[in-house]
Amino acid sequence: MLLAVTGWAPGVWREQFALHAPQRPIIEFPEGEGNSEIRYAVVWKQRPGLLATLPNLEVIFSIGAGVDHVFRDPGLPDVPIVRIVADDLTLRMSEYVVWQVLDHLRQGAAYRARQAGKIWGELPQPAASEITVGIMGIGQLGKDAAVKLMALGFRVTGWSRTEKAMDGVTLFNGRAGLPEFLGSADIVVVLLPLTAQTRGIINAEMLAMMKRQTPLGGPVLINAGRGGLQVERDLLEALDSKRLMAASLDVFETEPLPADSPLWSHPKVFVTPHAAASSDPRALAPLILQQMADHEAGKPLCNLVDRDAGY
């Protein structure tokens, strides 16, 4: 297999693959170009053009759930692309979503500011049952977050590309369903993939569709999908004009977030460094290896990416 992982320490992936499948030779980028023995490429932000040089490549494995980084390569060979769908990753994302939703519900930012000023005083405390959390992109990650939020008493809605059903969750789909979805959510959690259809979707037009009055004092946005989904200029404008009450952002138009971005120090923004749900090689390398073994045993690959849809 070729390990073509950039922008992420590849060493720990190599260690885990070697530990669980010592019989599988691993070639690590920048080696491997043109190598006819490579059957599998395990990638994160692979160098564009690299995979097209591998004449016997059978499968591309993304070490993340998102595959926009794979599609950045205009010369991508026409072989199946497998992405990560794994309990370990899903649980981490649900932790992040629940953490942020609860922080907004319980006014974490306001209490931290009060503590800094040694101010004793209780703030209004809306109940979870008064809050509707709208999950924009209710796929593998969004569905699990929905279940966990409902267990805490939140009302949950979801928005997807295709029509779906989920117990206890009011679902909307397509562009036609967007205004009602946004207009009924107090907190919007974005867990969309970055595709040609979703790029820049968090823009002034979308922010204007969000609910005006909420029990939290205004609508809240949480984006852990991809930075390319958001137009940061529009987000800042919505925050500064009080159209948006607060935002938790894990992903950014440019990563790492540049030091001069106003988002770093904005009082209404909570920043994490694309860390909502880390891919843990200890949990995920064995799953990738299992798929290779299944493929060699003639079984179908799971978690395949739909090239036309882009996710």
Q: Write the interaction track for ligand NDP spanning residues 175-214; mark x where CB under 6 A is met and - where it is not.
A: ----------------xxxxx-xx----------------
End-to-end CA distance of the chain: 23
Q: Six-digit token pair at 22? A: 């010592």
Minimum CB distance to ligand OXD smaller for 35 or for 303: 303
What is the DSSP code (8-state) at residue 200?
Answer: T
Minimum CB distance to ligand NDP smaller for 21 or for 73: 73
CB of 277 to ligand OXD, least distance (A): 6
Q: Give yes or no for residue 66 binding ligand OXD (CB under 6 A).
A: yes
CB of 38 to ligand NDP, least distance (A): 26
CB of 239 to ligand OXD, least distance (A): 24
**Choice among 14, 69, 155, 226 that is catalytic:** 226
Strand partners, 271: 249
274 is catalytic: yes
The pairs formed by 207-211 with CB atoms below 8 angstroms and a separation of 24 or more are 207/234, 207/235, 207/238, 207/243, 207/244, 208/243, 209/178, 209/179, 209/182, 209/183, 210/182, 210/183, 210/185, 210/243, 210/244, 211/182, 211/183, 211/184, 211/185, 211/186
Indicate the residue whose CB is closest to ligand OXD: 64
- Rounded distance between C-alpha atoms, residue 83 and residue 65, angstroms: 5
Nearest to 33 by CA among 8, 68, 2, 58: 2
Q: Give yes or no for residue 198 binding ligand OXD (CB under 6 A).
A: no
Q: Give yes or no for residue 239 binding ligand NDP (CB under 6 A).
A: no
Q: Write the interaction track for ligand NDP spanning residues 43-72; mark x where CB under 6 A is met and - where it is not.
A: ---------------------xxx------
Q: Give yes or no for residue 279 binding ligand OXD (CB under 6 A).
A: yes
Q: Six-digit token pair at 202? A: 């968090």
199 is catalytic: no
Q: Write the interaction track for ligand NDP spanning residues 145-164; mark x where CB under 6 A is met and - where it is not.
A: --------------xxxx-x
Q: Give yes or no for residue 226 binding ligand NDP (CB under 6 A).
A: yes
Q: Note the residue count of the chain.
A: 311
**Choice among 106, 266, 274, 295 that is catalytic:** 274
Q: Give yes or no for residue 141 binding ligand NDP (CB under 6 A).
A: yes
Q: Mind telling me the catalytic residues?
A: 226, 274
Which residues sit at the interface with ligand OXD, rule CB under 6 A?
64-66, 84, 277, 279
